[in-house]
Homo-oligomer: A and B are copies of this chain.
Amino acid sequence: MPGTRLDPIDRKILAELQADGRMTNVELARRVGISAPPCLRRVRTLEEQGFIRGYHADIDARELGFEVQVFAMVGLVSQAEADLSAFEDRCRAWPLVRECHMLNGEVDFILKCVAPDLSSFQSFLTGELLTAPNVASVKTSLVIRGAKDEPGVPFDVLEARLSKSA
């Protein structure tokens, strides 16, 4: 199923919907150069095939009262698969943890967390994360300021790559 390759129109659709997920279908169709019905069919197919996982409003967390953003590097005691999965499940259940990625190297996981303020993060850290089973070490780094936060994928890199291999 990853064998289903995308043609240039599909990639344009993905790029446009990544840039503006609320664009109307007729506007999208106009931009990619086809008429509306086939455009909608393509979008549905891209959704069904999993290229499009969903659509989300991009909310300003700080404006909403989440002043604090923290990266946490977590080392575990046991790296047996069952223990890794158990920790991942725990991360999925913690609302303050927005991302959890397993890494190579000395640290096992990196977590991106948000919190309303430092004290609520620290109570999460000491009350939940540090006391969770199998957690050996946690190093946290506060985000002082965000410089870039682009959701998604660089389509220009993709197009450049495809034209080279053509």
Contact = CB atoms under 8 A, between A and B. Distances in A.
Interface of A: 2, 6, 14, 17-22, 49-61, 63-66, 69, 71, 88, 91-92, 95-105, 107, 109-110, 114, 116, 120, 141-154, 156-158, 161
Contacts of A161: 65, 116, 120
Nearest to A70: B103
Nearest to A57: B17
B104 A59 contact: no
- Which of A53, A91, A101, A110 has the most chain B CB atoms inside 10 A of its CB? A101
Given A107-B141, A114-B153, A148 B100 contact: yes
- Which of A51, A95, A96, A120 has the most chain B CB atoms inside 10 A of its CB? A95
A144 B63 contact: no
Closest 8 pairs between A and B when the two form their complex, measured CB to CB: A95-B154, A17-B57, A88-B147, A21-B55, A100-B148, A22-B55, A103-B141, A100-B147
B149 A99 contact: yes
B157 A95 contact: yes
B153 A61 contact: yes
Contacts of A6: 64
Contact of A58 (B99, B120, B151): B151
A141 B111 CA distance: 13
A60 B51 contact: yes
Given A21-B22, A64-B51, A147-B91, A152 B58 contact: yes
